[in-house]
Amino acid sequence: MQICIPVESDQGLQSAVCAHFGSAPAFMIVDTDSGSARAIPNRNQHHDHGQCTPLAALEGERVEGMVVGGIGRGALNRLSAASIPVYLAEQATVAEVLEAFRLGMLRLMGPSQACARHGHDHP
């Protein structure tokens, strides 16, 4: 399965998970079977509140799941409408997220867990 994880910078599997999907500098595309990972820049990083277009930012990429530290309701709804499950990242690095995914420990994110606004910290 191909999952996408917003990251602070490209450090491979040791990349730090970004606290918010839309403002992440890059996305790490990870193959959960092989463990291979590659970063792509977030071409939609600087957008107005409520204008995050996650599928445009990932245009041309095959993404079957998203693992985020935080995400706005609009982006969450757009991903859900595209049948892309969104999981909550409670881990610090891509490697830790991958291990949690493989162990079935990631929780699906629901609307009540989405951020109501940009600019606040996430746990």
Six-digit token pair at 113?
């867990």
Contact between residue 44 and residue 58 where contact means Cβ atoms under 8 Å apart: no
In a domain, 17, yes or no: yes
The predicted pLDDT at position 13 comes to 97
**Closest-CA residue to 93 (of 33, 11, 23, 32):** 11
In a domain, 25, yes or no: yes
**Closest-CA residue to 1 (of 50, 59, 54, 67):** 67
Is residue 120 very low, low, confident or very high in pLDDT (cuts 50, 70, 90)? very low
Q: Is 13 exposed, middle or buried (0-12, 13-18, 19+ CB in 10 A)?
A: middle
In a domain, 56, yes or no: no
Phi then psi dihedrals of residue 108, to 5 deg: -65, 140
pTM as predicted: 0.85
Six-digit token pair at 33?
């079977």
Task: Please give the Cα distance from 121 to 123 (Å, whole number).
Answer: 7
In a domain, 101, yes or no: yes
pLDDT tens, position by position, 16-47: 999 988 888 999 999 999 999 999 988 766 54
Classify residue 71 by its DSSP letter: -
In a domain, 106, yes or no: yes
Domain extent, residue 12, equals 2-44+62-113
In a domain, 118, yes or no: no
CATH number of the domain bearing residue 7: 3.30.420.130
Question: How much is the mean pLDDT over the chain?
Answer: 85
Total number of domains in the chain: 1
In a domain, 83, yes or no: yes
Q: Work out whether the CA dihedral 24, 26, 29, 30 comes out positive or negative.
A: negative
